[in-house]
Amino acid sequence: MSKFTFPESIKSRPVYGTLAMRDGPAHLLVADGHGAEAILDVATPIMMTKAHIIYLPKGEKFANRLRSLNPISFYSGPSYSAATSRLVKVLSDAKMGLQVYLAGTEGLIGQAQNAAMEAGIPHNAIQTEHRGSIARRMQCVHCKGITEDVEIDPFICEHCGLSLFVRDHYSRRLAAYQGVCIDAEDPGNIPKSKGIYE
């Protein structure tokens, strides 16, 4: 799958690079969907002798190819929440020098990066590569509810029903973009929804 080039934006918006193998005593690779392609691009046999892979397929068929890399451990699960305990375990057992690679959707990258930061890894030491869907993980600033995989602007909050403007403001702590009521000053004046990057 081709990589999406994100338009220039405000400073809080994440910037993604390309995964590159780094020396270290262990490697943690976390991906969803097409993020598996980034892992396949960076993986080497030597790296895999010290690697833990956590993969969330999201309907894609890369699990067998990732498993065939023969990492120390491999987990394929249905959702980020299902994988959280494994991710936390690898991070808590890690020694200094663990290399962290995150690839796939912004929602997965943000949540896994947050878990790694909580384990003491600085955010700028974590490699990220966006692959796949450009949908966003959004937080309603009014009810604080999180809506996953938002692809349109404005969108309706799943929790409180407000029509929200999709902002580029990103909270690393929440691993989510912020959505603000679009018709607060002029109730009912809601523009037609369009794709976020249209």
Cβ neighbors of 79 (< 8 A, separation 6 or more) are 56
HSE at residue 86, side-chain half, CA atoms within 13 A, is 19
- What would the pLDDT profile of 20-65 be if each residue is shown by its tens digit? 999 999 999 999 999 999 999 999 999 999 999 999 999 999 999 9
pTM score of the predicted model: 0.92
Confidence check: pLDDT of 83 > 90? yes
Report the pLDDT value the prediction gives residue 5, as an integer from 0 to 100.
Answer: 84
Alpha-carbon distance of 182 to 28, in angstroms, equals 40
Distance CA 60, CA 8 (A): 29
Question: pLDDT tens, 93-149?
Answer: 998 999 999 999 999 999 999 999 999 998 889 999 999 999 999 999 999 999 999
pLDDT value for 44: 96
Domains defined for the chain, CATH in brackets: 27-130 (3.40.50.80), 136-195 (no CATH)
Q: Are 177 and 138 in contact (CB under 8 A)?
A: yes
Tokens linked to 151: 């692809």
